[in-house]
Structure 1
């Protein structure tokens, strides 16, 4: 039996749950393709899944989930995570299966709408099924998208999860020309992608990040950058923005709502500063706000990203690379939050 190197996450817990070892090369099923992984990005969801942060028993920030041993029956997005699991939501690779796409460089859409786009049911690469922290991955043919561009493999691997999530948030919030958009966590993977994609849509961007990262965020298109410890109300005034794209949550949630204009839209896909927040319902209903939660990607999202890359309308933001075997070091660097953009893992060549 052919084998490959992979990182297997054995259960909820600390970095000791990440085992770099040999496992069988997956056999693609009907309507699936075998993809040789060229590079795989690191995302919040990789860490969140390992520590069980999606469990309703966790109320704090992504750093507060702990490294508790033992199962959390609701620790995954759709219930229990199917450990042991090969994680890895971002995949840039080459199709190995004979056929029309054989030998093509591709990206895999990580958010798979298993029952079609008429249902919100999803299956996520690296969370619900084996992912890209390996030399090979088997995925549905419908989720494989060829890409023709001059981006490197590592640069392309920084795209799927972060940029797809950001584009989905902007799509759901109907961001368009003339909108003023507040983006929190703007130096992170999703935040920095949202800055670029909002600018691409013709919006004016107010970004929030640490003061040390302000220049980097301004360089990718933000019109104004606020330090994350600034008072939003004092800096912007009441009802100052049309849309808020917030992946931070936590204690600042109420301040974000208060700077939205009457009829404004709030969209979220994360809560790195805390999942349980205080909401004054009067702020929401007296201002006719729309609150949008976005996990399942809508049909146009991933194809639009591919078009944007091929048209040279986006900039890759790769902060660093690590060999796949060094996944612990990569996740520790990711958790330290000292980088701007994405960290990417590179598997050994078979």
Structure 2
């Protein structure tokens, strides 16, 4: 019987794997990383636009199934590598990262002030939190700066003693009384206010029926925003002259470039708050003995500055930890000679403050 000849087939050469390179690397560099269904259904609906945009950018940098990134800087998270492509502002990246970390959607697994941090994307759900507490209550907790995460914040709330009044007024039995942003707003569980009450008499309505979101530049192409803002400034403070108002409008326009899009009413609210703060600051500075910034205010400024990438890249030292960096800046910011150095960065972040006059 004849034996069949065995024909050898040569195995095609396999691409050589580079040393230290993950077998998944090419897939993540050249392919598409799909967000998990859990994130899309139970996290995304509760996040701000800033947090959503930052999450998408972080997805571009994860390597492997653990969804961890290499060291990435704020500038890399901003994107915009391709000519003409959109780029997130530094303020958007800082705000988005803070929100994602507080909600425990993202964890910082390694810190490095020079080359950026390492992050891990977590598979979590936010549904339970928003079922227990209202969005306003959770926002108040997040901006109170009294806790590092949402789970820690809610544990603190649950340990607080509950009075009979708050227990009867709130169906959940939990009462939150924490400052909201820098306005020291406190949420009270009370009966519904009558919309005709005195506090609404002087409210300014500006195209509130238009719910479209605009940048300030885009809004200027829709309404006579410059004239409208100038007129509103005159109503708030008739002593402001045209040159001062124009100067504030230019500062406001520059400040707006780092803000998220909002409604026409939202931009008017920003402007009113700015002019009111300007008038208050001017009135205080006219007094012979003005009270300087409190430690709490200075500490808040230090926290914002030390997490602002433009500031960190110029003022942090090689090998310096974040804690040591913040301690050094906290000491410096209380010295008048640093007012001109740190003041412009605070203005970029949207703060209307004169460090030199406040120290």
| The two structures share one fold, judged by TM-score above 0.5 | no
Q: Which has the higher contact order (CA 8 A, sep 6+)?
A: 1
Q: Which has the larger radius of gyration?
A: 2
Q: Which has the higher strand share?
A: 1
Q: Which has the higher helix share?
A: 2
TM range (shorter): under 0.3
TM-score of the superposed pair, with normalisation by structure 1: 0.27
TM-score of the superposed pair, with normalisation by structure 2: 0.27
